[in-house]
Amino acid sequence: MYTYWYMITKYAKLIKASRLKKGLSQLDLASKLGLSRPSYIAIEQGKRELSMSEFEKLSGILNIPFEEMEKGESPNYEKYKQMILSFLRLGKSVKKTKLAKLVYLSDFAWFYSHLNSMSGMQYRKIKYGPVPDSYFRALDELEEEGKIIVDRKNADGKEMIIISESDSNKKQKLESILPEEENLMKEIHRKWKDKKTAEIVNFTHNQLPYLMADDEEIVSYALITQEDPHEVY
């Protein structure tokens, strides 16, 4: 069974504030969790991680859902656009739907390991999703800025949209992307570069975040942590 450890640093202030709001002392909460007071203090100081079972107890006592962390993330729209450009540099030209999936996998795979996404964007469950509402706007803006080329073709009566980075933009440094993030995107690219769009669509649609969301609903980052490691991307 895969054991998930939650980086409690992100919760330390929220936990302390919630404890005080409920009028509980550090010793009270430590006792409810079956911990010593010093161990609990280390949690509030962000020096100690929580196991899944400890987190579930704490969540029940203080009424702090895991999704509370997700709400605290601020979307970084410009970084999201740089993630799009990163995959275009790796793949040279990518179909529109597949490109959206690659960026999605990066955000959720990063969350799997770090408990925050690369971009902080919210993804919605739509037919060819999950995808942020602003994905299509981002492509329009990148095209208007001359950073990407959008090639619209017709194949068997269906429109096929292929996206590539413009030659004039390839020297632009993608400053928002960390080296570790770039390495993850390279791994995702290597896995999916020779796969058809339908394959990556089926893969993401069978992951828990998409499966558990209602149509048009925002999908939960938290659910990706329940996937087996080889099913994350």
Given phi > 0 = left and psi -120 to 50 = alpha, else beta, which region is 63?
A: left
Rounded Cα distance, 83 and 169, in Å: 14
pLDDT digits 0-9 by tens, 48-71:
767 767 777 887 888 766 555 445
pLDDT of residue 4: 38
What number is the average pLDDT over the span 175-184? 96
pLDDT of residue 155: 67
Q: What type of residue is 50?
A: L
Q: Which domains does the chain have, with CATH numbers?
A: 5-64 (1.10.260.40), 77-231 (no CATH)
pLDDT of residue 46: 73
Angle between helices 179-192 and 96-114 (to 10 degrees): 130
- Whether the ω angle into residue 132 lies within 30 degrees of 0, i.e. cis, is no
pLDDT above 70 (res 228): yes
Q: Is the whole-model pTM more than 0.75?
A: no
pLDDT of residue 2: 35
Q: Which alpha helices (DSSP H) does 115-196 contain, by range?
A: 135-144, 179-192
pLDDT above 70 (res 226): yes
DSSP-derived letter for residue 223 is G
pLDDT of residue 1: 31
Rounded Cα distance, 118 and 182, in Å: 10
